[in-house]
Structure 1
Amino acid sequence: MATPKFDAPATHTNAWIFQTWLAFILSLSAMGVGIYLLPLNGWMKSYLGMGFVFSISSTISLAKTTRDLEESKRIFNRVDEAKLEKLLAEYDPFNK
């Protein structure tokens, strides 16, 4: 079974990009306001804020790492497929 070729990455529409940024900004704002309005002292709010920031940064790092791993698999598959095509192109079963 042949593997599908991934010639070009999928592109996103402007509406999708806007929606993802809007959702990110709204969730960030809602969580920030929620932490700010908690009936806690400043140290506890700061601790929750730090945890929130670390959660965001680790989520971004995880998403980037996952994307990079998938892209490296595509590149490896392309190189492997090119080697196989070259080998098949050079092979002549009638020339012995």
Structure 2
Amino acid sequence: MSNYVQKPSQAWTLFTYAQFAIAAVMMAGGIWFLEASFSAKGFYAMAALMLVSSTAGITKSIRDAEESDRIYNKLEDARTERLLAEVSSSDAA
């Protein structure tokens, strides 16, 4: 069984941070220069912040579920190997 966990490259991580920063600046600039009342701008700003927050939350939930499944599968594999070892040792006796 392999314990190798693939990690994203530093370039990809930098790209994602830069992409987020550029998108945030563009959204803020778009809201700032929007020809609307202050309350409408506030509404759009709150909606943008909630969208970013909920995206981070759902991403974390999906990742946590995947990691939980991975741990569960490792435990099941260990149990199966133990049972097979017990069966093979009782057959040898």
Relative to the length of structure 2, the TM-score reads 0.91
Q: Is 1:35–1:48's contact at 8 Å kept on the other side of the alignment?
A: yes
Residue 6 of structure 1: CA displacement? 5.8
Match of 2:77 among 74, 81, 87: 81
Matched, 1:65 2:39: no
TM-score, normalization by structure 1: 0.89
Larger % of helix: which? 2
Q: Give 1:9 shift.
A: 2.4
1:14 paired to 2:13 = no
Amino acid at match of 2:64: D
Equivalent position amino acid for 1:76 in 2: Y
Please say if 1:25 is aligned against 2:9.
no
Give the share of equivalent positions with the same residue, in percent. 31
Residue 41 of structure 2 is matched in structure 1 by 45
Contact 1:35 1:45 in 2 (8 A): yes
Partners of 2:49 and 2:2 lie apart in 1 by 35
Gap regions ≥5 residues in structure 1: none
Aligned length: 91
Q: Does 1:54 align with 2:50?
A: yes
Bigger relative CO (Cα 8 Å, ≥ 6 apart): 1
Moved over 2 A (4+): 92-95
| Structure 2: segments with no counterpart, 5+ residues | none
Q: For 1:29-76, what per-residue CA distance to the aligned partner results, in whole angstroms no more than 9, with x for missing partners? A: 101100111100111000110000000000000000000000000000
